Chain A
Amino acid sequence: MSDKEFNYYISGETGKWEVVIGLEVHAQVSSNAKLFSSSSTKFGSEPNSQVSLIDAAMPGMLPVINKFCVEQAVRTGLGLKAKINLLSVFDRKNYFYADLPQGYQISQFKHPIVGEGEVILDMPYGTKKIGIERLHLEQDAGKSLHDQDPTKTFIDLNRSGVALMEIVSKPDLRSPEEVAEYIKKLRSIMRYLGTCDGNMEEGSLRADVNVSVRKIGSKEFGTRCEIKNVNSIKFMQQAIQYEAKRQVELLEDGKKIDQETRLFDTKNNETRQMRSKEDAHDYRYFPDPDLPPLKFEQTFVDQIKKKLPELPDDKKERLIKDYKLSNYEAGVLISDKDTSDYFEDVAKNSDVKLAINWVIGDLFAALNKIGKSIKESPISSKNLSKLIQLIKNNTISGRIAKEVFELMINDNRDPKVIVEEKGLVQESNVDELEKIIEKVLKDNSEKVAEYKSGKDKLFGFFVGSVIKESKGKANPALVNDILKKKLS
């Protein structure tokens, strides 16, 4: 079987099982203020320092919706090629929890702001379309701290009321790899749009993972379990692997799957049941009487559409067309907006082929080594572009360029300045080169004799020695030409 074919199946005693996965992604809207109040959403502030009277559910407090959050939901919807609903309704989802001060979460149930859309994944076995069921706006809850005191729980309401977009996929995902690609693609789309920073460490992006299994070829879905609030791609993948295996084992033992909510225990790498059937929730959704329906005109959507930036899929197509990049190269570049922007900036005034190699080769490696993102790159796109120009116009050799690059990593200086300062300009003067070559041939007369008697392989040795003699500055192409003449 080729590795380019989809092959994620669970092998059980009775045969192969397919894993069916749907995600409910919670993405924090990158707003300054909360969804229904004007307190700050800043991460990492002192506990309970970003809590308004509304967020603390004081008696008589009323929600007023943040326009920016509505716009970002629409933008994201457009980015998912989804249907935008001109009329949507906010509902209350009623349940008691210590970090839910109102006793209900304001969410959208029957009428979400965004309807069906899609996300395209680039998998090794081809592109795959993942359906989006809906996107709705809702409030985040606060935070419960269970480990500060043996008998008490502490409550911090800083996150209470922060705007979330819940993006619900169709059950179209079939493997942990697809889930990873899906999350990355979704995050990339939202980063292009600027609607969510996608920062998983800070909780701006997390997902409820719905997993079920079925025999290969079966058309019906199995009973699913929902793994709540997983906050890294790695954990999502581990949770799916564990959960799928657990379900297969149960089914093969002739047991049934209970539809239930589970959590992923990152320490033991397993999923566990969260609450018993008995206190299963009954959320008693109903339209929030404090909020009239959210209605807007098509012109509101059109205006947002007009200001939409280029999105990853379009950009990829353009990169392939304009720069003649391979599908792989374009895919790597567009996975992150900063990377593709950087590339285009470098390629603009230099050379496409060199630019792509330097960006996804040397620069990626260097950044990886120092643990920095492309946005924090110590080498600006302008200076990398200059470096490539120096190669292109034969001022320096590729080998010298690597040296200069290393220096630039430390201080991001203009490569021209470095080259001049260190006297690294490539030697392209034929007379000078001939002098060096003659010296090298004289010093290695036995090797010259060997070469002439047929040991062709020695040619490389001569080139190397000449470049070494020139302290790396010799123009390798010219050296080649001259050497060939001299040795013939």
Chain B
Amino acid sequence: MTDLAKLTLVESIKHIKEKKCSASELVGAYIKRIEKSDKLNCFNTKDLENAHSKAKKIDTNQKLDKTLVGAPIAVKDLFCTKGVKTTASSKILSNFIPTYESTVTEKLWNEDAILIGKLNSDEFAMGSSNETSNFGNVLNPYRLNNQNLVPGGSSGGCASAVAADLTSATIGTDTGGSIRQPAAFTGIVGLKPTYGRCSRWGIVAFASSLDQAGPMTKDVKDAALMLDVISGYDEKDSTSAKKPKSSFLNSIKSNVKGLKVGIPKEYRVDNMPKEVDDLWKEGIKILKDNGAIIKDISLPHTKYALPTYYIIAPAEASSNLARYDGVKYGFRAEGKDLTEMYENTRSKGFGTEVKRRIMIGTYVLSSGYYDAYYLKAQKVRNLIKIDFDNAYKNVDVILTPTTPTPAFKFGENVDDPIAMYLNDIFTVTANLAGLPAISLPIKYNKDGLPLALQLFGKSFDEQTLLNTAYFIEQQVNFKSQVKDWWMS
């Protein structure tokens, strides 16, 4: 019998629709794995019993016509889920139970997907290794000589859960690379849609002008299907875009003939490992050999993207996180008066990295520094956007590596915030410019760790991105080598 948990999302749904298996059987297969996978620490909250009963209910349905019928899906613990604890992996929200459902998760359940739990992440999505979570590290299913590796971050729990077949697909959030970098580290597909493509309503905010929800899946078709479901205009989010869309999955085409692919020279950074450089060349070759037109392009302000990001994101975060004050919900530490209660609550409720970013954000917005930092960053952000506008006059997509290195060991970068921030060096530009980008696993390095390439698309042109990624995926034929070592 097929191992149901190994099926892709598209295959699982086909199984259910064709009655090759029941929703209960599919959910059961995942639950069986989840129950043996605590060592990975992917879940902040499991919702297995409810998942079981919802699957049973679906099995009694006459029609199994919903798009995600019976698919067991865990989501990043940043999406508010009605009646299910939502913590943002922070102590300050450790007991928060929303009375409402985020727009994007609502869309999943409306299509008969089944919530099986909430996935670990960096605290408030601030991190690149999942080491800042209040609920402990998430392990990458891939190891280096039996040593544990980080899954990447901030959607680390999502990435490991998909790679370890603990969820049939998931949605994460990407503010500076938080979907794509962990996807790259765990050998899965991660798509950050265009800013405004998916509603932010009901997602714990980190940096509002950069945050975007997106799919993390076993393959490209799954990503297209998930995007079909979660995208769309939402009148509750003023930054949500009124763009027409058809089905990304149904429109997917495996063809790159005549596709103009830009290769930005600024992404060839110092100290880039040879294996990453080779990977990039391989990607270029595949596209070229199949009729794509390769063009060298320049995105001259690329090196200013990270500094820009580390002004804008903390500035917005310092304001977005002001609501966590021990009054309306969440953790409270007492104090003799209101101010002391605030200071104690926020000091004990937030972790080190979150506090660091709130402090930096507060500083760059404070009187006397606003122009030098925040306003300056807003201007450079425009320059970065203009870089892409110019590039897209000549190319359809842009190809780069997703990350400068494969997954690393725990503790490797924790003492040096800048070293950690460099993880996002190839991914942040998409957030600053609001563009869609996808990370696609390509191959394994000599140590058996996944390596990934990234494609940037034009604004609201996720389709070309998906088409190109789908084509490459078929060429490279990347197969999971996860060995279930953590299971007892």
A57→B99 CA distance, assembly (Å):
13
Q: How far in angstroms is the closest Cβ of chain A from B2?
A: 38
> Which listed residue, A63, A102, A292, touches B323 by the CB 8 Å rule?
A102
- Chain A residues within 8 Å of B235, by CB: 64
The answer, yes or no, to whether B95 is at the interface (CB within 8 Å) is no
> Which listed residue, B100, B102, B207, B321, touches A289 by the CB 8 Å rule?
B207
> Which listed residue, A96, A101, A153, touches B342 by the CB 8 Å rule?
A96
| A59-B98 in contact (CB<8A) | yes
A291→B236 CA distance, assembly (Å):
11
| A98-B338 in contact (CB<8A) | yes
- Chain A residues within 8 Å of B201, by CB: 60-62
A285→B200 CA distance, assembly (Å):
23
Total A-B contacts with CB atoms under 8 angstroms apart:
96
Which one of B283-291, B359-367, B439-447 contacts A? B359-367
A39→B315 CA distance, assembly (Å):
29
The answer, yes or no, to whether A286 is at the interface (CB within 8 Å) is yes
Q: A92-B319, A96-B339, A155-B327 are in contact. List 9 more A-B contacts (CB 8 A).
A: A59-B80, A59-B204, A96-B322, A98-B327, A286-B315, A286-B316, A286-B319, A291-B238, A292-B239
The answer, yes or no, to whether A284 is at the interface (CB within 8 Å) is yes
**Residue-wise interface mask of A (30-60) relative to B, using a CB-CB cutoff of 8 A (1 in contact, 0 not):** 0000000000000000000000010011111
A291→B239 CA distance, assembly (Å):
7
| A53-B208 in contact (CB<8A) | no
The answer, yes or no, to whether A290 is at the interface (CB within 8 Å) is yes
| A104-B322 in contact (CB<8A) | yes
- Chain B residues within 8 Å of A57, by CB: 323, 328
- Chain A residues within 8 Å of B318, by CB: 94, 284
**Residue-wise interface mask of A (331-351) relative to B, using a CB-CB cutoff of 8 A (1 in contact, 0 not):** 000000000000000000000
- Chain B residues within 8 Å of A464, by CB: none
- Chain B residues within 8 Å of A62, by CB: 200-201, 236-239
| B365-A60 in contact (CB<8A) | no
The answer, yes or no, to whether A309 is at the interface (CB within 8 Å) is no
| B238-A282 in contact (CB<8A) | no
A285→B205 CA distance, assembly (Å):
18
Residues from 297 to 342 in B contacting A, C-beta threshold 8 Å: 315-316, 318-319, 321-323, 325, 327-329, 338-339, 342
> Which listed residue, B204, B238, B370, touches A290 by the CB 8 Å rule?
B238
Residues from 102 to 153 in A contacting B, C-beta threshold 8 Å: 102-104, 153
The answer, yes or no, to whether A482 is at the interface (CB within 8 Å) is no
A310→B370 CA distance, assembly (Å):
45
> Which listed residue, B100, B205, B319, B365, touches A103 by the CB 8 Å rule?
B319
Q: Which of A56, A57, A58, A60 has the most CB of B within 10 A?
A: A60
> Which listed residue, A60, A65, A101, touches B328 by the CB 8 Å rule?
A101
- Chain A residues within 8 Å of B79, by CB: 60
- Chain A residues within 8 Å of B319, by CB: 92, 94, 103-104, 284, 286
- Chain B residues within 8 Å of A63, by CB: 238
Considering only CB atoms, which chain B residue lies closest to A57 in the complex?
B323
| B202-A60 in contact (CB<8A) | yes
- Chain B residues within 8 Å of A92, by CB: 319
Q: Can you give 19 contacting A-B residue pairs, CB < 8 Å? A: A56-B328, A58-B80, A58-B328, A60-B202, A60-B203, A62-B237, A65-B238, A92-B319, A96-B322, A98-B338, A101-B328, A102-B322, A284-B362, A284-B366, A284-B367, A289-B208, A290-B208, A291-B238, A292-B238
Q: How far in angstroms is the closest Cβ of chain A from B231?
A: 17
- Chain B residues within 8 Å of A65, by CB: 238
- Chain A residues within 8 Å of B255, by CB: none
Residues from 204 to 218 in B contacting A, C-beta threshold 8 Å: 204-205, 207-209
Considering only CB atoms, which chain A residue lies closest to B330 in the complex?
A59
Considering only CB atoms, which chain B residue lies closest to A99 in the complex?
B327
A103→B205 CA distance, assembly (Å):
14
What secondary structure prevails in chain B residues at the interface with A? Answer: loop
A350→B238 CA distance, assembly (Å):
56
Decide yes or no: A60 and B325 within 8 Å by CB, A286-B319, A289-B209 being known contacts: no
| B342-A58 in contact (CB<8A) | no
The answer, yes or no, to whether B452 is at the interface (CB within 8 Å) is no
Considering only CB atoms, which chain B residue lies closest to A153 in the complex?
B338
**Residue-wise interface mask of B (355-397) relative to A, using a CB-CB cutoff of 8 A (1 in contact, 0 not):** 0000000100111001000100000000000000000000000
Considering only CB atoms, which chain B residue lies closest to A283 in the complex?
B367
A310→B273 CA distance, assembly (Å):
75
| A64-B100 in contact (CB<8A) | no
**Residue-wise interface mask of A (268-288) relative to B, using a CB-CB cutoff of 8 A (1 in contact, 0 not):** 000000000000001011100
Q: Which of A56, A58, A282, A285 has the most CB of B within 10 A?
A: A58
- Chain B residues within 8 Å of A291, by CB: 238-239
> Which listed residue, B80, B238, B362, B370, touches A60 by the CB 8 Å rule?
B80
| B323-A53 in contact (CB<8A) | no
The answer, yes or no, to whether B93 is at the interface (CB within 8 Å) is yes
The answer, yes or no, to whether B184 is at the interface (CB within 8 Å) is no
| A59-B205 in contact (CB<8A) | yes
The answer, yes or no, to whether B86 is at the interface (CB within 8 Å) is yes
| A60-B323 in contact (CB<8A) | no
A94→B319 CA distance, assembly (Å):
7
The answer, yes or no, to whether B96 is at the interface (CB within 8 Å) is yes
A-B pairs with lowest CB-CB distance, top 4: A103-B322, A289-B208, A284-B365, A289-B209
The answer, yes or no, to whether B430 is at the interface (CB within 8 Å) is no
Decide yes or no: A289 and B325 within 8 Å by CB, A58-B98, A60-B200 being known contacts: no
Considering only CB atoms, which chain A residue lies closest to B210 in the complex?
A289
A282→B367 CA distance, assembly (Å):
6
**Residue-wise interface mask of B (71-92) relative to A, using a CB-CB cutoff of 8 A (1 in contact, 0 not):** 0000000011000001010000
| A59-B370 in contact (CB<8A) | no
- Chain A residues within 8 Å of B328, by CB: 56-58, 101
Decide yes or no: A59 and B96 within 8 Å by CB, A94-B365, A96-B325, A289-B208 being known contacts: yes
| A101-B236 in contact (CB<8A) | no
A155→B325 CA distance, assembly (Å):
14
- Chain A residues within 8 Å of B342, by CB: 96
- Chain B residues within 8 Å of A155, by CB: 327
Residues from 74 to 104 in A contacting B, C-beta threshold 8 Å: 92, 94, 96, 98, 101-104
Q: Which of A62, A64, A65 has the most CB of B within 10 A?
A: A62
Considering only CB atoms, which chain B residue lies closest to A59 in the complex?
B204
| A58-B329 in contact (CB<8A) | yes
Q: How far in angstroms is the closest Cβ of chain B from A286?
A: 6
Q: How far in angstroms is the closest Cβ of chain B from A44?
A: 23
A63→B209 CA distance, assembly (Å):
14
Considering only CB atoms, which chain B residue lies closest to A93 in the complex?
B319
A98→B323 CA distance, assembly (Å):
10
Q: Which of A59, A65, A96, A153 has the most CB of B within 10 A?
A: A59
- Chain A residues within 8 Å of B96, by CB: 59
Q: How far in angstroms is the closest Cβ of chain B from A483?
A: 82
Q: How far in angstroms is the closest Cβ of chain B from A61?
A: 7
| B202-A103 in contact (CB<8A) | no
Considering only CB atoms, which chain A residue lies closest to B346 in the complex?
A96
> Which listed residue, A98, A153, A286, touches B365 by the CB 8 Å rule?
A286
| A101-B200 in contact (CB<8A) | no
- Chain A residues within 8 Å of B325, by CB: 96, 103
A155→B202 CA distance, assembly (Å):
24
A290→B367 CA distance, assembly (Å):
22
A64→B201 CA distance, assembly (Å):
11
Residues from 168 to 223 in B contacting A, C-beta threshold 8 Å: 200-205, 207-209
- Chain A residues within 8 Å of B88, by CB: 59
Considering only CB atoms, which chain B residue lies closest to A60 in the complex?
B202
- Chain A residues within 8 Å of B102, by CB: 60
- Chain B residues within 8 Å of A60, by CB: 79-80, 102, 200-205
**Residue-wise interface mask of A (176-206) relative to B, using a CB-CB cutoff of 8 A (1 in contact, 0 not):** 0000000000000000000000000000000
| B100-A58 in contact (CB<8A) | yes
Q: How far in angstroms is the closest Cβ of chain A from B258?
A: 36
Residues from 24 to 69 in B contacting A, C-beta threshold 8 Å: none
